[in-house]
Amino acid sequence: MRSWSSPEVPSIGGSAPGLRIHDSRTDALVTSDPDDVARLYVCGITPYDATHLGHAATYLAFDLLQRQWLDRDLDVVYTQNVTDVDDPLLERANDTGEDWTKLAERETRLFCDDMEALRMLAPHHYIGAVESIDLVVDLIERLGDSVYRVDDDLYFDVHADPGFGQVSGLDEDAMRAVYGERGGDPERPGKKHPLDCLLWQGPRDGEPSWESRLGPGRPGWHIECAAIALEHLGTDFDVQGGGSDLAFPHHEMSASEASVATGEPFAQAYMHAGMVALHGEKMSKSKGNLELVSRLRETGHDSMAIRLALLAHHYRSDWEWTDKAMVAAKQRLDIWRAAVQRTTTPPGDDVIAEIRAALADDLDAPAALAAVDRWVGADGVEDDGTEVARAIDSLLGVRL
Ligand SMILES: [Zn+2]
């Protein structure tokens, strides 16, 4: 699947401090020190509606992470999926009478355009669920005795994985309390355990299905990501990422399925971005309280100002979007742009070191922004802002 054009990441002089990131599984800061190649999987969209700022904030967190790895001269392999066949997509297509493949294609393109405008690094492997059906079938077959049938559907026995529950850190009561509202089916009769999850959904009237060795059907969401990640990154890759609402059940289930199939850990660390609210509630399609990246762009907002507005919040925090955020970000962007054009600016070395130190500390973008603000406000000497502009581009992805 075609993604989008990646921006250039200029290299900057000097060296970066050690990188620490928050691992949700251990709820601790851990050192990220990959050998040569850093491998990242971030869960992609279900393309039935446009990219809202909550999505953009999540993808931005993992864009910053990659820029940290690149600043340490590592190669990065970044894989992202597109869940281009799933219940919400089919329901939307059914409601509007649009062909589901057309809807998926259009919304995927719009997402890619938004990502490109925001200068997000493009994935090296951008993979759809539909094109991964053979991979999913292979992986389900590797699950052996942990697979069982309920009517025409296949389920995964989550207790086949002794580590089940570790990714989210939830106990079973807590998991059961939220499973139903997060796409699970704890009440379905015939399951061995309420938390067991769907691997392969048999054919339904009016829905697409594919012939396979498992019988006709389509892939479940969790096994889709497990199959795509294992194929393109291998086991025990560096970071599995996504929004905090994916920790359970999605990341929990994918990790258990992958580790039962391979006998190896799925990922070394699990990173989760906070949720962005609008009008007092988490932005969500179902509630209709969305601010779309495409709408902001259409109404003339500079995409670098949108990026700065998102960078003003730490990736792990939950926060609320207001129109004031855009005004403040535009003001900051204008001030920064004017500052790097000056012929006399304060020396760049210290501020570049401060930006690096902030981002090395679990991607603390607000602290990096504050460092640039201080530099902008300080008295100039015989220096220009070229190096600082280059570092802001490289590390924060903001082109001035
Ligand atoms: Zn996923």
Tell me the per-residue pLDDT of 48-59, one tens digit each, with 9 for 90 and over: 988 899 999 999
Whole-number Å distance, alpha carbon 30 to ligand 1 midpoint, is 22
Q: What is the 3-state secondary structure (H, E, C) of the chain?
A: CCCCCCCCCCCCCCCCCCCEEEECCCCEEEECCCCCEEEEEECCCCCCCCCEHHHHHHHHHHHHHHHHHHHCCCEEEEEEEECCCCHHHHHHHHHHCCCHHHHHHHHHHHHHHHHHHCCCCCCCEEEECHHHHHHHHHHHHHCHHHEEEECCEEEECHHHCCCCCCCCCCCHHHHHHHHHHHCCCCCCCCCCCCCCEEEEECCCCCCCCECCCCCCEEECHHHHHHHHHHHHHCCCEEEEEEEHHHHHHHHHHHHHHHHHHHCCCCEEEEEEECCEEECCEECCCCCCCCCEHHHHHHCCCCHHHHHHHHHCCCCCCCEECCHHHHHHHHHHHHHHHHHHHCCCCCCHHHHHHHHHHHHHECCCHHHHHHHHHHHHHCCCCCCCCHHHHHHHHHHHCCCC
Mean pLDDT over all residues of the chain?
96
Cβ neighbours of residue 338 closer than 8 Å, sequence gap 6 or more: none
Q: Strands 153-156 and 147-150, how do they pair?
A: antiparallel
Residue 36: the pLDDT is 94
Whole-number Å distance, alpha carbon 258 to ligand 1 midpoint, is 12
Judged against a pLDDT cut of 90, whether residue 384 lies above it is answered with no
Whole-number Å distance, alpha carbon 148 to ligand 1 midpoint, is 22
Residue 4: the pLDDT is 98
Judged against a pLDDT cut of 90, whether residue 251 lies above it is answered with yes
Whole-number Å distance, alpha carbon 287 to ligand 1 midpoint, is 22
Judged against a pLDDT cut of 90, whether residue 286 lies above it is answered with no
Domains of the chain and CATH, by start: 20-278 (3.40.50.620), 281-396 (1.20.120.640)
Whole-number Å distance, alpha carbon 250 to ligand 1 midpoint, is 6
Whole-number Å distance, alpha carbon 221 to ligand 1 midpoint, is 7
Whole-number Å distance, alpha carbon 80 to ligand 1 midpoint, is 8
The rounded distance, in Å, linking the Cα atoms of 240 and 329 is 30
Whole-number Å distance, alpha carbon 29 to ligand 1 midpoint, is 23
Whole-number Å distance, alpha carbon 400 to ligand 1 midpoint, is 33
Question: Is the preceding peptide bond at 347 cis, omega within 30 degrees of 0?
Answer: no
Cβ neighbours of residue 355 closer than 8 Å, sequence gap 6 or more: 368, 371, 372, 391, 392, 395, 396
Whole-number Å distance, alpha carbon 387 to ligand 1 midpoint, is 38
Beta carbons of 136 and 227 less than 8 angstroms apart: yes
Tens-place pLDDT, residues 306-357: 999 999 999 999 999 999 999 999 999 999 999 999 888 888 999 999 999 9
Whole-number Å distance, alpha carbon 39 to ligand 1 midpoint, is 15
Whole-number Å distance, alpha carbon 225 to ligand 1 midpoint, is 5
Full-prediction pTM beyond 0.75? yes
State the distance between the two ends of the chain, measured CA to CA, in whole angstroms.
31
Whole-number Å distance, alpha carbon 45 to ligand 1 midpoint, is 9
Residue 49: the pLDDT is 83
The rounded distance, in Å, linking the Cα atoms of 51 and 297 is 12
Judged against a pLDDT cut of 80, whether residue 382 lies above it is answered with no
